[in-house]
Structure 1
């Protein structure tokens, strides 16, 4: 695979986009991150002359669409249950024939569910860490203990349908299970226990250029602490980001796997695919897909795009371009 090459932008006139609702905030657990991302996107689009305005949450968007004020939606909601990554928003927009950024109903709903995404990847022969499902209810402590024993310590315990490291627990041995079990007892959804790959955390952005989905240069994430948790993602200034994260054949392989994982999950437009690389063997393992990645000052897709000379406003412009013409959601 050669170095990433994107086709030139298809449009230069911002009026082609009409009135753009930058959808942010919402009611998911990732609301604050979404608001931060949304403010940045709104400023970037306006700096390029786009007639963009902020909308907080799906009910407010429906009101704006009903009033005839929306020609297309830049979706920067994160998460589910009031976020914009679980297929609900996408279904609403398609029913109302309003173009929107990012993946459609299938890709959004599927990738919000880590368990089902892994099942698709396994069926496609793509590598992902071994895992066990933890259904809601019953005896969460016992279920977690059994799952961790089956996988072998260390493991991660995480919700199947959350993002931004919400509710993620690193369990090195049985004595570490108590906090995860306490969380599981009060969490209404499905969890998974996942084999912990010891090694490097990497991510690959995906961007549609009007013709194909291009895998951007990988990023190797090097947190100052032991792992890349919520604090390291959104607040710490001592996390290091190495781009490209790999070299030569390894960089080609991670970008190939990212593209295959993105397409096999039914995704479109733009996104980010997260990986672990085994320190001992160099093997790559797929973790998850983000269909509305963060766009904060600490976010990763803008860092990868910048490596190709695409600044933040230009990245937002390219994401919005995917809503116009052939292949756009209607």
Structure 2
């Protein structure tokens, strides 16, 4: 009997629905490849039993809180079971958008400035006019997003100051810290990394004012271009930025970095995803396909890179 592999999916984060889809696709690929794989939802299974039940390797397909933030990685480190993706520390850092941007900035990498972090307690306690004043200093429009959350849940573009309070309240549903930054107009790209190899960039075009949850997972009007249409020089420039951004955070195995090409034709790093989606709408498998890796090959390669 081959080594017993667990695919972790579901969980209790707001991204549960996408995680279930990703995990099931990964599980099917492993089973079809003849691997002894079993799908496990942490909601229904005590993870400390993974060792007891003889699992030798874990494919993590949990998105968001509890999956990408170092929590599950810490449990698996304790159990001494190898797992896919980045380690505990890297996962904890990259889940925090503000911290990630701060580190990138320290290393001289291009990130959107100015920005600031607003805590829920400060929002409730402090003078709302003070917050408004700070945000107006950024110059509207601004973009707000929960600091430790994915799938664009709770994200909003603020064009008018009157819409701010309402949007912040909705955003705080997902996280106690909100990242507020200057809205940058431009073309959005996402770049996958597989074992230090940069996958072809994908250009994303969406019908709304930003790439939101619906546009990511459900709308057929969202368009993806791979090849991206970028010139060879621009691709080289982008690859250099992305590889540096990946290395300074000590990321491992696989992941995806989102960037924007602003109106001045400068790339700005947006955020990083250490456990990319693997659904039919997902971009990581699309980029891998461009270099000749089928979904099955991709899943096996990620698993085999895990030592």
Over aligned residues, Cα RMSD in angstroms?
Answer: 1.7
CA distance in structure 2 between the aligned counterparts of 1:144 and 1:214, rounded to whole angstroms: 42
CA distance in structure 2 between the aligned counterparts of 1:167 and 1:153, rounded to whole angstroms: 18
SS in 2 for 1:295: coil
Question: Are 2:282 and 1:295 equivalent residues in the alignment?
Answer: no
Structure 2 gap ranges (5+): none
SS in 1 for 2:179: strand
Structure 1 gap ranges (5+): 1-13, 325-330
- CA-CA distance at 1:226 after TM superposition: 2.9
TM-score scaled by length of structure 1? 0.87
Match of 1:264 among 238, 248, 255: 248
Asked if the contact 1:23–1:75 (Cα under 8 Å) also holds between the matched residues in 2, the reply is yes
Q: Could you say which residue in structure 2 is the equivalent of 1:29?
A: 14
Question: Are 2:263 and 1:276 equivalent residues in the alignment?
Answer: no
Kindly tell me the number of residue pairs found equivalent between the two proteins: 302
Residues 1:59 and 1:136: Cα distance change in structure 2 (over 3 Å): same
TM-score scaled by length of structure 2? 0.94
- CA-CA distance at 1:148 after TM superposition: 2.0
Q: Could you say which residue in structure 2 is the equivalent of 1:74?
A: 59
Question: How do 1:155-304 and structure 2 match up within 5 A?
Answer: 155-183=142-170, 189-208=176-195, 213-245=196-228, 246-278=230-262, 280-304=263-287
CA distance in structure 2 between the aligned counterparts of 1:167 and 1:188, rounded to whole angstroms: 9
Which has the larger displacement, 25-34 or 223-232? 223-232
CA distance in structure 1 between the aligned counterparts of 2:93 and 2:252, rounded to whole angstroms: 12
- CA-CA distance at 1:288 after TM superposition: 0.7
Question: How do 1:81-92 and structure 2 match up within 5 A?
Answer: 83-92=66-75
SS in 1 for 2:104: helix
In the TM superposition, what whole-angstrom CA distance separates every residue of 1:167-205 from its partner, at most 9, and x where no partner exists?
101111212213223225656511110111101111000
CA distance in structure 2 between the aligned counterparts of 1:274 and 1:48, rounded to whole angstroms: 31
Asked if the contact 2:51–2:79 (Cα under 8 Å) also holds between the matched residues in 1, the reply is no
